[in-house]
Amino acid sequence: MKLIRFTFLFFVCIVPTIALFSQQYRNPKYQTYIEKFSPIAIENMQKHGIPASITLAQGILESGIGDSRLAREANNHFGIKCHDWKGEYILHTDDKVNECFRKYKNPEESYEDHSVFLTTRGRYAHLFELKITDYKAWAFGLQRAGYATDPTYATRLINLIEENGLHTFDKQLPQPPKQKSVAKEETKHDTEKPSREHKNDRYPSRPTQRNMYGLRYVIASSNDTYTSIAKEFKVSLRSILKWNDLPYEVSLKEGEIVYLQSKKKRVSSYSTHYVASGETMHIISQRYGIRLKSLYDLNNMNYSQVPTIGQKLYLR
């Protein structure tokens, strides 16, 4: 009889509690956060090679679903401290009283900085040798590299990813730009006034983006070439090649950054970068928006030199 009572109490009291706990990641706040920031996480994955699932899970966990003080007052969704940061900051008590944390203009800057932070720290370089779909290896790799002191950090990330299906974002590739129908345009009379929407619009075909230093760029789609992008944005091919440090037109890969203005001579917010596997000087210059010649000069390297894995490069 006692056994029966215990079993009854277990199912009446304990099981509902477990079920309620398991639903914590599926409440509306999680869904709202994911819907809002998944496009940004995917964009950063395509640009920097960090799984979108990992970025989202870290953002959810570190920002308390966007409700933490750092997220609300500093747009800091990843709890990144100042370190060598030269921008605005906020003092916040974490492991110690009044520690310095980075402050951003918007959450998008925080997501971009999170990606740059991981790609510029030598202790995370080994992660970029993992498959982008292997979120479990990334989670445990982050924990072993010391991203967080919580011994259950990797497990918590994995639970967030699996409970919310975040791993599905890791398989998404850049989408080609939508083409506007020109059927109606062909039937319009020459005397008809142009719509206000397109008046003096230099970039009509697809939206451009800006990196954290304000440089305008686009992400290449599968059918893009430098010539097609130059025509689309009404600039000369010569300018496009110059802005992207290319002596002549080469094949353009899907997901590559194409700048639509001149890059900078120095990087303002970061001072160094540690070379990861597969990176070239051109790839690094594109990632930070720094001119290739400046990158070579800052590191006293000949233009024929190839960087080695783990090499420390100066960005200013």
Give the pLDDT score at 108: 92
Read out DSSP for 18-61? HHHHHTGGGSHHHHHHHHHHHHHHHHHHHHH---HHHHHHHHHH
Task: Name the amino acid, one letter, at 271.
Answer: S
Report, in this order, helix, strand and coil percent for the chain, each rounded to 5. Answer: 45, 10, 45
Supply the pTM of this predicted model: 0.52
Strand partners of residue 218: 258
Give the pLDDT score at 184: 39
Give the pLDDT score at 86: 85
Please give the Cα distance from 268 to 87 (Å, whole number): 9
Please give the Cα distance from 273 to 277 (Å, whole number): 13
Contact of 249 with 241, CB cutoff 8 Å: yes
Contact of 293 with 276, CB cutoff 8 Å: no
Please give the Cα distance from 146 to 236 (Å, whole number): 47
Walking along the chain (316 residues) 10 residues at a time, the average pLDDT comes out as 46 42 56 89 88 95 92 94 88 86 93 90 84 92 86 90 90 52 37 36 53 74 88 90 88 84 80 79 86 92 86 86
Please give the Cα distance from 34 to 220 (Å, whole number): 25
Could you identify the residue written with the tokens 């083409």?
Answer: 179
Question: Which domains are seen in the chain, by residue range?
Answer: 23-171 (1.10.530.10), 200-259 (3.10.350.10), 272-314 (3.10.350.10)
Give the pLDDT score at 90: 92
Please give the Cα distance from 263 to 242 (Å, whole number): 10
Give the pLDDT score at 206: 60
Which tokens belong to 211? 């990196």
Could you identify the residue written with the tokens 């020459």?
Answer: 190
